[in-house]
Amino acid sequence: MTSTGKLIVLTGPSGVGKGTLLQRLLHECPDLFLAVSATTRSPRAGEIDGKHYYFLTREQFQERIKQNQLLEWAEYAGNFYGTLHQPVSRAIEQGQKVILEIELAGARQIRAKAPNAFQIFVSPPSLADLEARIRGRGQDSEVAIARRLDQAKIELAAAHEFDFQLVNDDLDSALQTLKAKVLSL
Ligand code: 5GP
């Protein structure tokens, strides 16, 4: 009998610390498969093509949509983001737990296409805390920060749609809660 894996979606406003939580989770659980998304946004300092994202032009992204290569995709703060279908289905077939770190519209598409996926929402302790984290990151312009905060309010209002809600108030305890949940799936 072939074992099949599990699709896990992790959503939460930009700046909430999903990336750090995930890096730590993968470090502790190296069998998990984190899907590398495609995006049209420019790489931030230190981001590597093929590792953090596949950085594409809008034309290249649209070509992937046309060719049905994306499991889900969404426009977020003026850029396109999407999950490549093939590596995800291959890892699931091989019995792996696959994590998608995606925004709300993409999570909703996954919910419609893959109702068995387990959906986790990461919240900040407060909106003020989130703004401080986004500013502290020092990677975004004022316009980008304002867009991300507007989007965060929309995402926070949808937290109840998710199977599990995690408040990232303390990184270590949030990580242990996340790890226990993911390992239980
Ligand atoms: P950032 O630009 O900060 O890396 O990501 C912005 C938002 O896009 C984050 O909320 C992140 O979770 C989301 N995102 C990253 N990859 C994907 C993807 O493949 N699909 C969707 N729908 N959202 C994504």
Q: pTM of the prediction?
A: 0.92
| Domain boundaries of the chain, sorted by first residue | 6-184
CB 104 within 8 Å of CB 148? no
Q: Where are the alpha helices (DSSP H) in the chain?
A: 18-28, 58-66, 85-93, 104-113, 127-137, 142-156, 171-184
CB 98 within 8 Å of CB 6? yes
Phi-psi sector, 18: left (phi>0), alpha (psi -120 to 50), beta:
alpha
Residues with CB under 6 A from ligand 1: 14, 37, 41, 72, 74, 76, 81-83, 101-103, 105-106
Q: Domain 6-184 - what CATH class?
A: alpha beta
One digit per residue, the tens of pLDDT, for the chain of length 185 reads 446 899 999 999 988 999 999 999 999 999 999 999 999 999 999 999 999 999 999 999 999 999 999 999 999 878 999 999 999 999 999 999 999 999 999 999 999 999 999 999 999 999 999 999 888 877 778 898 898 899 899 999 999 999 999 999 999 999 999 999 999 99
Closest CA to 105 of 9, 4, 26, 1: 9
Give the mutation target among 23, 39, 42, 54 for probing the ligand 1 site: most ligand atoms within 8 A of CB. Answer: 39
Q: How far apart are CA 4 and CA 35, in angstroms?
A: 17
